[in-house]
Structure 1
C-alpha cells in the first residue's frame, strides 16, 4: 500500500516537472503522449515504457528550453 502511494506521488511529481515547462513555452507535453504509447507497444513492459516516456518528454522539454529564448 505504501509502495503504491509512493509510486503515484512520483508519477505526479514527474508529470508536473515535465508538463509545466512545456506549457510555459507554449507547447504542450501532451503532444508526445502518442510517442510514449508507441514506445510502450514496442517494448511491452510497463516499467521500461514509463521510463522511456519520461525520457522522451524530458528531452522535449530540454529541446524547448534550448530553442525558445
Structure 2
C-alpha cells in the first residue's frame, strides 16, 4: 500500500501509475492536467508510478460561461 495526497485528500491504495489513477478516479483523461509535488507531468510520462508521500493535483477543464 502507498499513501499520498490527491487534491488535498489523503489516499491509501495499491501502487499504480498516474494514468491508472486518473482513469480510476476521473474516468477520462480528456482535458486533464496532472502535477506531482507541484511539477506538471506531461501526459507522455503518466506511466510513472505514484510514490508514497507524493502530492498529486489533478485539474480538469470545464467549459461554460
TM over 0.5: no
TM-score between the two structures when normalised by the length of structure 1: 0.33
TM-score between the two structures when normalised by the length of structure 2: 0.34
Using CA pairs under 8 Å that are at least 6 residues apart, name the structure with larger relative contact order, 1 or 2: 2
Larger gyration radius, structure 1 or structure 2? 1
